[in-house]
């Protein structure tokens, strides 16, 4: 087969490991494999290059993506997707492996509906693709968040402060939930729990009165202006309070072994599925088994974070 591979949308650690796995598995199968630069934008522009083994050497442990990523909102239009298909036809590429998040999946689905064989690989730090229990990049971002929160805890304790730490995860609270549990946060606020500001302020004041030296609040992005929230906590609770937005550091860094392993498994699995004639699907792991789901179904699945973990937080925070 002649297969294309691209990375699209927000980058995530492990994208390179995924590209490597796809390329190596394809070559082992005697396929020809083509790297497409800058996501769907590069596809439309014809930025396509045939890859050899050597093109993916020394990238397994590197953050970012050697293919680059870009956003092309116009990919929503059929006329723009037709330009992409023309480029695929020009290069005789019959199948496309799309590495990214749900936006990338939507693009892959639209191409599939137009007759292109596509496979989606979940690669996003937010863990917001419900057809896979874990997405590539989540483990690394979780490590980064935990490392930062541990450091903030040290200094919060010394200064008897409250620390509010904003982590990524717009649609899915997993990064906040997992990092909050792993770092013993007193409060974890996600889009699933919502922010009950009055209760938070009151609890923090009670904590302070009870003599607790510090408090850690982990909150998902987009739920509050955390700098303003810190001011309100300071005014009300008696704690000095600082807000920290972790931001894009969560997107970078060398992928963890878990992310590398997931990348290797899902990359090879995607090539296997193409050879079995199974396309228009998203790959993932469920109960640690490889699994595929039609992309349309994957996009419709509820991606809210783990209920059991939410209950656990109520008992141990």
Is there binding between residue 4 and ligand ADP (CB under 6 A)? no
Question: Cβ 264 to ligand ADP, closest distance in Å?
Answer: 21
**Residue nearer to ligand ADP on the CB measure, 37 or 40:** 40
**Residue nearer to ligand ADP on the CB measure, 104 or 163:** 104
Number of alpha carbons in the 13 Å side-chain half-sphere of residue 28: 11
92 tagged catalytic: no
Binding residue (CB under 6 A) for ligand ADP from 34, 37, 40, 239: 40
Is there binding between residue 72 and ligand ADP (CB under 6 A)? yes
Question: Cβ 240 to ligand ADP, closest distance in Å?
Answer: 37
Catalytic residue among 126, 128, 174, 259: 126
Residue, CB closest to ligand ADP: 103
- What are the phi and psi torsion angles at 49 (to 5°)? -140, 135
Residue-wise DSSP of the chain? -EEEEEE-SS--TTHHHHHHHHHHHHHHTT-EEEEESSHHHHHHHT-EEEE-GGGGTT-TT-SS-TT-----GGGGSHHHHHHHHHHHHHTT--EEEEEESHHHHHHHHHHHHTT-EEEEEEB-TT---TTSSS-BTHHHHHHHHHHHHHHHHHHHHHHTEEEEEEE--SS-THHHHHHHHHTT-SEEE-TTT---HHHHHHHHHHHHHTT-S-EEEEEETTSS-HHHHHHHHHHHHSSEEEEEE-GGGGG-SPPPHHHHHHHHHHHHHHHHHHHHT--SEEEEEETTEEEEEEHHHHHHS--PPPHHHHHHHHHH-
Binding residue (CB under 6 A) for ligand ADP from 4, 35, 42, 103: 103
Question: Cβ 48 to ligand ADP, closest distance in Å?
Answer: 16
Question: Cβ 128 to ligand ADP, closest distance in Å?
Answer: 8
Dig out the tokens for 98 from the structure: 């799309």
Q: What is the total residue count of the chain?
A: 317
Single out the segment in contact with ligand ADP by CB under 6 A; choices: 102-110, 201-209, 264-272, 279-287.
Answer: 102-110
**Residue nearer to ligand ADP on the CB measure, 113 or 258:** 113
Question: Cβ 44 to ligand ADP, closest distance in Å?
Answer: 9
**Residue nearer to ligand ADP on the CB measure, 107 or 180:** 107
Single out the segment in contact with ligand ADP by CB under 6 A; choices: 43-51, 96-104, 291-299, 303-311.
Answer: 96-104
Binding residue (CB under 6 A) for ligand ADP from 3, 4, 7, 10: 10
Question: Cβ 108 to ligand ADP, closest distance in Å?
Answer: 8
Chain residues binding ligand ADP by CB under 6 A are: 8-10, 40, 71-73, 75-76, 100-104, 106-107, 110, 124
Catalytic positions are: 126
């Amino acid at each position: 087969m002649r297969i294309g591979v691209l990375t699209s949308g927000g980058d995530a650690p492990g994208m390179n490991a995924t590209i490597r796995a796809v390329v190596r598995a394809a070559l082992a199968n005697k396929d020809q494999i083509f790297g497409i630069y800058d996501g769907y934008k590069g596809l439309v522009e014809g930025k396509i290059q045939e890859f050899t083994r050597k093109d993916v050497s020394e990238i397994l442990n590197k953050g970012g993506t050697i293919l680059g990523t870009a956003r092309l909102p116009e990919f929503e239009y059929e006329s723009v997707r037709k330009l992409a298909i023309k480029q695929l036809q020009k290069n005789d590429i019959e199948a496309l492996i799309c590495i990214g998040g749900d936006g990338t999946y939507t693009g892959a689905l639209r191409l599939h509906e137009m007759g292109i064989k596509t496979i989606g690989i979940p690669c996003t730090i937010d863990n917001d693709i419900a057809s896979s229990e874990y997405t590539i990049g989540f483990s690394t971002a979780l490590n980064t968040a935990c490392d930062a929160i541990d450091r903030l805890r040290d200094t919060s304790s010394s200064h008897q402060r409250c620390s509010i730490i904003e982590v990524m995860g717009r649609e899915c609270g997993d990064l906040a939930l997992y990092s909050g549990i792993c770092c013993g946060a007193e409060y974890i606020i996600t889009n699933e729990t919502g922010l009950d500001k009055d209760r938070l302020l009151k609890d923090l004041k009670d904590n302070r009165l009870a003599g607790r030296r510090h408090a850690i609040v982990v909150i998902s992005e987009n739920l509050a202006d955390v700098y303003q929230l810190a001011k309100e906590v300071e005014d009300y609770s008696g704690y000095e309070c600082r807000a920290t937005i972790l931001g894009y550091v969560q997107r970078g860094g060398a992928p963890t072994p878990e992310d590398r392993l997931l990348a290797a498994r899902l990359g090879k699995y995607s090539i296997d599925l193409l050879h079995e004639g199974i396309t228009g699907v998203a790959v993932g792991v469920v109960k640690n088994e490889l699994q595929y789901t039609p992309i349309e179904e994957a996009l419709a699945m509820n991606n809210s974070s783990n209920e059991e973990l939410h209950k656990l937080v109520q008992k141990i925070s």
